[in-house]
Amino acid sequence: MALQAQIVGWGKYLPSRVLTNDDLAAMVDTSDEWIRQRTGIIERRIAAPNETTAEMALRAAQDALRMAGISSRDIDLIIVATATPDQEFPATACILQDALGASRAGGFDLSAGCSGFVYALAMAAGAIAAGMSRLVLIVGVEKLSRIMDWSDRSTCVLFGDGAGAVVLRGGEGPSGILSTTLGADGSGGDLLALRPKVSDDPNGRGPYITMDGRRVFKFATRVMPSAVSQVVKEAGLSLSDLQLLIPHQANQRIIEAACEAMGFPMERTFSNLERYGNTSAASIPIALCEAAEEGRLADGDLVALVSFGAGLSWAAALIRWGRAERVVWY
């Protein structure tokens, strides 16, 4: 019998600095009303200049390990999903491995934009099912403020910084990751991209995010319903069986349009977008952590995660929430 990857610990980290819509209105031609109506965002968190991606990942990972009651020395694999590593190499996962003292763990970074965490979840579930790993730490973390064009109101109002983490363990029983799906369409890569620094840029910008918001909206509202439907169908279930949907926290209008397309009720959809904005690969693990903290997840509940992002990429996962009936150690 193949083992199922079960979430046994979770944690998050949000920087202390809060950037409100009114703060942004003092920086760029926008307003609190304009941002709320178009995105649903009220505020977001911004990392301190000297606060690194790896440091934020460490804080979330430590919380997840504490909750799981697991020593870092028992971790077999660390996957860090991020589009904003502190440097090209070494991997953020390797920096995190050393900081945690996870001396037995291998580690690598995964780049799939905002879909990165669910991609990592699928990779970890496969490693556990295949017997390659027994305990996996996944972190979604972003310092998007470092690559923001603060003069572009179409992007700077959307994004924030933060980290979320989960610990996965192999076990038997009904709970765990039931199904996943991953997708990509590179022909739309230019719709959401990181532009390189140009030496004669009049705004003095470094590498910065650009996005065709209208076309990304159309893409997201098309792929999210189909991805959720696919993972539910693969598990032999239906949308009506879901207790909770946790979508990527990009834009409230996207979330509402996707739910309407699926015929899925908003009251069974979790959103913390108004407080944090779009934290890319950190978005879903932060939301998952808060949903658990708020009592939105009970043992036996079915929860679907769905994301979309740069690439263009998309991913979904179906989870039966709860601890293992029997933990299996190799």
**What residue type is assigned to position 135 of the chain?**
L
Rounded to whole angstroms, the Cα distance separating 64 from 47 reads 20
Helix (H) or strand (E) holding 302: strand 302-309
Token pair 């929430």 is found at 321
Sign of CA dihedral 159, 160, 163, 164: negative
Rounded to whole angstroms, the Cα distance separating 171 from 5 reads 7
Q: Does residue 113 contact residue 280 with C-beta atoms inside 8 Å? A: yes
94 given a catalytic annotation: no
Helix (H) or strand (E) holding 179: strand 176-184
Q: Catalytic pick from 21, 94, 114, 251? A: 114
272 given a catalytic annotation: no
289 given a catalytic annotation: no
How many helices (H) and strands (E) would you count in the chain?
Answer: 10, 14
Q: Catalytic pick from 21, 94, 156, 248? A: 248
Q: Catalytic pick from 156, 251, 278, 289? A: 278
Peptide linkage before 239 cis (omega within 30 of 0): no
Rounded to whole angstroms, the Cα distance separating 5 from 12 reads 20
Sign of CA dihedral 206, 92, 280, 25: negative
Task: State the catalytic residues.
Answer: 114, 248, 278
